[in-house]
Amino acid sequence: MTKLVGNVLVGQSGGPTTVINASMAGVVEAALKVPQMKRIFGMRYGIEGFMKGMLVDLGAQDPAVIKGLHTTPATALGSSRYKLKDEDLPAVLKMLKKNDIRYFFLIGGNDTMDTIHRVEKYCATQGYELIGIGIPKTVDNDLYGTDHTPGYGSAARFVALSVQQAGLLARDMQKVDKFVVHQTVGREAGWLAASSALAKEKAADAPHIILTPEFPFREEEFLAAVESAEKKYGYAFIVCGEGVCYEDGSPVSASKTRDKFSNVEFGAMGGSSVALEIHKIIREKFGWRGEFQITESLPMCCEDRASKVDKQEAARCGREAVALAKKGVTGVMVSMIREKGPEYKIKYGTAPLQDVAIAAKPMPKDMFEKNGMMVNKKFIKYASPLVGALPVFHTLDFTKK
């Protein structure tokens, strides 16, 4: 492919993260330095808005605004969960031609990578030269081809801080509430629920039980673990991912609703939630009063709890995408590869879009303890550098009378 001269298109898709705007800012700042990349357009509301001509000239924005996006949560361009249809592809190509788009960057997860892969492939069949690069993003951390995803570190930090502090509250309120159920997002993988273990310094600290989609929910074993925790510590603190299922594959949340990508909808759109169902199971078994905590999308948009490493890596992924496109590379997603050694180091590579788009990446089973209801040191070592140090709180010495 000869060196392409044309305009740039960048978009954000799917759920937000605290650092998705940093990736976009990285693209804009890097593309402004590449002579063959002319105007830099942002698509409003993803591919859905693009087909309607909803574009903004990012190169014309105040540089201070672009710089400020490095520390601005949510999706500045607006997002979409529109499922691109085959019959939409001619309309997409028409808009690409109309705006002389030759460089296409899309920031998102599995479904987003599928979108950019299909657009790039279709353009090739139509003889239209287009470089398409995916930039990873998802708090779920479930993309193949990359050690982790931008957005995960900050969301994991949110969860760890929430459970650390809610755990203190639960400990001190155990004479009132005997248990707490804290729900995280994570449709098909338990990475985010697992991050709550970073709050744990000793066995008595929350959480006592972590439920993830990687292991089926077995009610009797679970209730035995709850009873054991209450006897040992005076209360039980349970963290559950929203996608926890029974052995037959049915969601514990009782949700049967699916979105446009055939993903199960959890929470309000799908009826109940896994936290409410588990709360009910515990209450009916033991008769205890307890709390439930459902943060929903808050871990995706809290700048005050953002991970410094996450911000830096998100922006770097945007810059790496531009560097790849400048070389004529297409059809890939930017990936992060963890280097071996005692210190945390990342190098940047690529993963084919067609491989990334296929399915979600679950947590490895060897990151869990045998019962599947708690993670082990391998996970802690993996997640700690992404989240950063947590605050230290103090406990009274009740032996001093």
**Does the bond joining 207 to the residue before it have cis omega, within 30 degrees of 0?**
yes
In this structure, the answer to whether residues 309 and 251 fall within a common structural domain is no
- Given this model, what pLDDT does residue 1 score? 46
In this structure, the answer to whether residues 96 and 162 fall within a common structural domain is no
- H/E run at residue 110: helix 110-125
- Given this model, what pLDDT does residue 262 score? 53
200, part of any domain: yes
Beta bridge partners of 6: 37
Share of the chain above pLDDT 90, in %: 91
For strands 55-57 and 37-43, give the pairing: antiparallel
In this structure, the answer to whether residues 366 and 238 fall within a common structural domain is yes
**What is the CATH classification number for the domain harbouring 129?**
3.40.50.450
Please count the structural domains in the chain: 2
Average of pLDDT values for 320-340? 97
Between CA 4 and CA 327 the distance in angstroms is 10
Q: How confident is the model at residue 359 (pLDDT cuts 50, 70, 90)?
A: confident
Q: How confident is the model at residue 269 (pLDDT cuts 50, 70, 90)?
A: very low
Task: Provide the CA 147 distance to its chain's centre, in angstroms.
Answer: 13
Of residues 359 and 48, more confidently modeled: 48
In this structure, the answer to whether residues 277 and 320 fall within a common structural domain is no
In this structure, the answer to whether residues 264 and 219 fall within a common structural domain is yes
291, part of any domain: yes
400, part of any domain: no
80-92 pLDDT tens trace: 989 999 999 999 9
Amino acid at 172: D
- Given this model, what pLDDT does residue 358 score? 73
310, part of any domain: yes
- Which two structure tokens, joined as six digits, stand for 346? 């990342």
Spatial neighbors of 108 by CB under 8 A, at least 6 apart, are 12, 13, 14, 115, 134, 135, 137, 138
In this structure, the answer to whether residues 26 and 162 fall within a common structural domain is no
In this structure, the answer to whether residues 69 and 213 fall within a common structural domain is no
Count of all residues that appear for the chain in the document: 401
> Is 147 part of the annotated catalytic residue set?
no
Q: Which of 111, 114, 140, 205 is catalytic?
A: 140
Between CA 349 and CA 123 the distance in angstroms is 24
In this structure, the answer to whether residues 347 and 249 fall within a common structural domain is no
81, part of any domain: yes
196-223 pLDDT tens trace: 999 999 999 999 999 999 999 999 999 9
In this structure, the answer to whether residues 193 and 110 fall within a common structural domain is no
In this structure, the answer to whether residues 276 and 320 fall within a common structural domain is no
Which of 33, 32, 11, 14 has the alpha carbon at shortest distance from 23?
11
282-308 pLDDT tens trace: 999 999 999 999 998 899 999 999 999
Helices (H), 132-273: 152-172, 191-194, 219-233
In this structure, the answer to whether residues 111 and 127 fall within a common structural domain is yes
- Given this model, what pLDDT does residue 272 score? 66
C-beta of residue 336 within 8 angstroms of C-beta of residue 316: no
C-beta of residue 340 within 8 angstroms of C-beta of residue 381: no
Q: How confident is the model at residue 187 (pLDDT cuts 50, 70, 90)?
A: confident
36-52 pLDDT tens trace: 999 999 999 999 999 99
- Given this model, what pLDDT does residue 346 score? 97
Find the range with the poorest average confidence among 102-106, 175-179, 253-257, 342-346.
253-257
397, part of any domain: no
128-148 pLDDT tens trace: 999 999 999 999 999 999 999
**What is the CATH classification number for the domain harbouring 175?**
3.40.50.460
124, part of any domain: yes
In this structure, the answer to whether residues 93 and 230 fall within a common structural domain is no
Between CA 343 and CA 127 the distance in angstroms is 46
> What is the average pLDDT score of the chain?
94
Among residues 356, 375, 396, the one where a domain terminates is 356
- Given this model, what pLDDT does residue 2 score? 57
Between CA 374 and CA 372 the distance in angstroms is 6
C-beta of residue 30 within 8 angstroms of C-beta of residue 318: yes
What single-letter DSSP state applies at residue 289? Answer: -
Domain hosting 264: range is 155-302+361-387
- Given this model, what pLDDT does residue 261 score? 52
